[in-house]
Amino acid sequence: MSNFSNIEWLRADLGAARDMLRSARAYRDPLAILQYKCRIEAIEADLEAALNEKSETATATIFFGGRPLVGSRGVDILFASKALELFQQVLLAQCAGDRSAMRDSALLMVTGFDRSSMSFQLEEEAAPGMMATGLADSLDQLSQTLALCAGPGDEWRAMLARVDEGLYSMLQEWFVFLDSADASVRIIQRMRDCDLSREGVALARERLSHASR
């Protein structure tokens, strides 16, 4: 589970525990009150630790939506394999422009699939004891770049003017592929949540096709 997902889960759990504490107080149940107070303290401690965590290892959870989904049974294998391959290539292009990133080590591997949410868990392919590659920071930057491409406002113009040709080309290919497949995608990693709706994907494709370089 990404740190972002863990934080969201803990916040939801904390809200539920506080609701139960209010109910216990309404019923004047001292044992339940004590139980939920202890539960809240434990969750708050876990939440504080998660908020202060800054992992040096890159992890991400990618959710696919739209036409490539086969109902609630699965996701089209040709789409998923190509989408993940392109995401890796876009990340490599991002790393090429990040001096702090070790491009030769910028590889992700699929470590899990959640059928209920149609999401893939990705983790950095790093050997134990290996020095930090900077991939987590590059992944943060890439998520911001993707969000700006598909988001409101005009910030995307200045951002696209700054990226190098290699990354620009891969961004074009990524959004053309997603748009042609009528797909949406959501990427969660560390503290960032990048939600690319169908409309956002189509908008990003158009912007990348017509932006002046």
Indicate the pairing of strand 192-196 with strand 108-114.
unpaired
Based on the fold, state whether residues 65 and 33 are members of the same structural domain: no
Do 116 and 137 lie in a common domain?
yes
Query: Does 124 share its domain with 34?
Result: no
User: How many domains does the chain divide into?
Assistant: 2
Token code pair at residue 128: 């134990």
111 and 163 together in one domain: yes
Q: What pLDDT does 72 receive? A: 79
What does the alpha-carbon distance between residue 59 and residue 189 come to, in Å, rounded to a whole number?
6
Tell me, yes or no, whether 91 and 10 share the same domain: no
Q: Are 190 and 2 in contact (CB under 8 A)?
A: yes
Q: What is the mean pLDDT of each run of 10 residues along the chain (213 residues)?
A: 70 91 94 96 91 76 93 91 96 79 70 86 70 79 95 93 94 98 91 90 96 70
Q: Note whether 110 and 199 are same-domain residues.
A: yes
21 and 94 housed in the same domain: no
Query: And the tokens for 67?
Result: 């036409």
Q: What is the pTM of this model?
A: 0.74
pLDDT score recorded for residue 71:
82
Which two tokens mark 114?
Answer: 């959640």
Domain that holds residue 19: 3-52
Cα separation, 106 vs 115, in Å, equals: 27
* Tokens coding 93: 């292009």
pLDDT at residue number 126? 62
Please give the pLDDT value at position 199: 97
Nearest Cα neighbor of 19 from 7, 38, 36 is 36
Please, are residues 120 and 113 in contact by the beta-carbon 8 Å criterion? yes
